[in-house]
Structure 1
Amino acid sequence: MRQSGTVGFWRWRRNPLKRRSDVVEAWVLLIVAVLMLCGLPLAGVLAGLHVDDELQHQREERQRTTAVLAEDARAWQAGRYARYQATVRWKASDGTEHTAVADVGPESRAGSTTSIWTDGKGELTGEPPTEAQAASAAALAGVLTMGGAGALVLGAHWVVRLSLDRHRAVALDQEWARVGPQWGTRHA
């Protein structure tokens, strides 16, 4: 009768039937377990922190700026959710004049003002994400990174196991070709 505590670790015990491929498989399994338990959460946290830092940088860099419409608003996308755009002009914090096409209200007329968002260079950009949006994006990035890395680790483990199984099958065929003829033919 076997001891139940050592059944799961049979590849690590001394055994005359243990093959080199069994040892390789045991090490690969240990590496996969460590990566799944420690590496994936770490990768997820690091990805989330990176995204959070980037979005924090956007919130700090972007600023609301007042721009003057150079033309009347025109429908950019017709239909139920119509969007209106117009050419707008504004001065950046360094004094340079900028012109771009921006989303505006449907009743906006030339000469009126509108609020736009600019980046650190004074260029037109989108509204920065809120704290809640940044937290959601960071969490999503962490979860997706963990999922993707987990799929890569499990895929690599599957490829290694497939390779080891093929190697063992070839070794068994070679050994059977050597030993099989010594057994002779059996008659019923």
Structure 2
Amino acid sequence: MTAPWRHRGNPLVRRRDRVQGWVGVCAAAVVALGGPVAGAVSGLAVADGLAGDRARLTPVTADLRRDVPSDPGAPDGAPTMRAPVTYRTPSGRLRHAEAYVTGGLAAHSRVTVWLDARGRTQPPPPEPTDVALVSSATGSGMFACVAVLAGGGYRLVRGHLAAGREREWGREWDETEAGWTGRG
């Protein structure tokens, strides 16, 4: 595809060719401008949502009430198992509940549990590195979606214009053939 503004005054370039050129320019502009904007907006929205999870939860120290076996399949230090704990809410009430803890701890170990506004235990919020990873993956995915949609739209328009061009060429060939062969 050549730049559509280079076709001005060229009698061999049809209207459909010009339209295809400008649709290509628009598709490229959507990818170049809309892709990064859509990626940044979606990535920031995900990051804000995940960071909000951390802000809504309160960490408290709890005592583990029984031994927790180690989990060989868990990442190092990741709370993957639920175990009974005793903790004090921010208001000072003593509570017994189950919370997510790291495997391989002995009874009466100190662990951090996360509480919601009602004082109930919740899974730990994502770490900042996890938030960054998920939000950047979301932003990249959104950029890719914009690029695929813009490219797909261009291909759809280009196919429609090519079909119209084929019909025009067929009609013109029928007229030209009739004049050459004397069948017309």
Judging changes above 3 Å, is the alpha-carbon distance between structure 1 residues 142 and 104 closer, same or farther for their aligned structure 2 residues?
closer
| 8 Å contact kept, 2:101–2:111 | no
Paired AA for residue 28 in structure 1? V
Letter in 1 for 2:180: W
Matched, 1:129 2:121: no
Decide which of 73, 76, 91 is 1:81's aligned counterpart: 73
**2: CA distance, partners of 1:164 / 1:85:** 61
TM-superposed deviation, 1:106: 3.8
**Distance 1:74-1:56 versus aligned 2 partners, 3 A rule:** closer
Residue of structure 2 aligned with 1:52, choices 47, 52, 62 = 47
TM-superposed CA distance for 1:182, in Å, is 1.9
CA contact (8 A) 1:75 1:85 kept: no
Q: Which residue of 2 aligns with 1:102?
A: 100
**Residue matched to 2:26:** 31
Contact in 2 for aligned 1:55/1:134 (Cα 8 Å): yes
- Residues 30-79 of structure 1: per-residue CA shift (max 9 Å, x gap): 21121122111111221222122122212222221345667x456696xx
Compared CA separation, residues 159 and 92, structure 1 to 2 (3 A): farther
Distance 1:89 1:21, change over 3 A: farther
Return the offset for 1:89: 6.0
Q: Name stretches of at least 5 consecutive residues in structure 1 with no aligned partner.
A: 1-6
Which TM-score applies when normalising by structure 1?
0.70
Shift of residue 159, structure 1, vs aligned partner = 1.7
> Among 159, 165, 168, which residue is 1:168 paired with?
165
* Distance change >3 Å, CA 58–CA 175, structure 1 → 2: same
Identity %: 27
Aligned to 2:56, which of 58, 61, 64?
Answer: 61
Q: Which moved more, 1:7-16 or 1:132-141?
A: 7-16
Which AA in structure 2 matches 1:81? G
Aligned to 2:13, the other structure's residue is in SS state coil
Give the CA RMSD over aligned residues: 3.3
CA deviation vs aligned residue, 1:112-144 (integer Å, no higher than 9, x gap): 764322334444333223333333333332222
Q: 1:177 aligns with which of 155, 174, 178?
A: 174
Displacement after TM superposition at 1:105 (Å)? 3.8
Per the alignment, in what secondary structure is the counterpart of residue 31 of structure 1? helix
The match for 2:152 is 155
Query: Which of the residues 38, 41, 47 maps onto 2:36?
Result: 41
SS of the residue aligned with 1:81? coil
- On the 8 A contact 1:84/1:106 being kept in 2, the answer is no
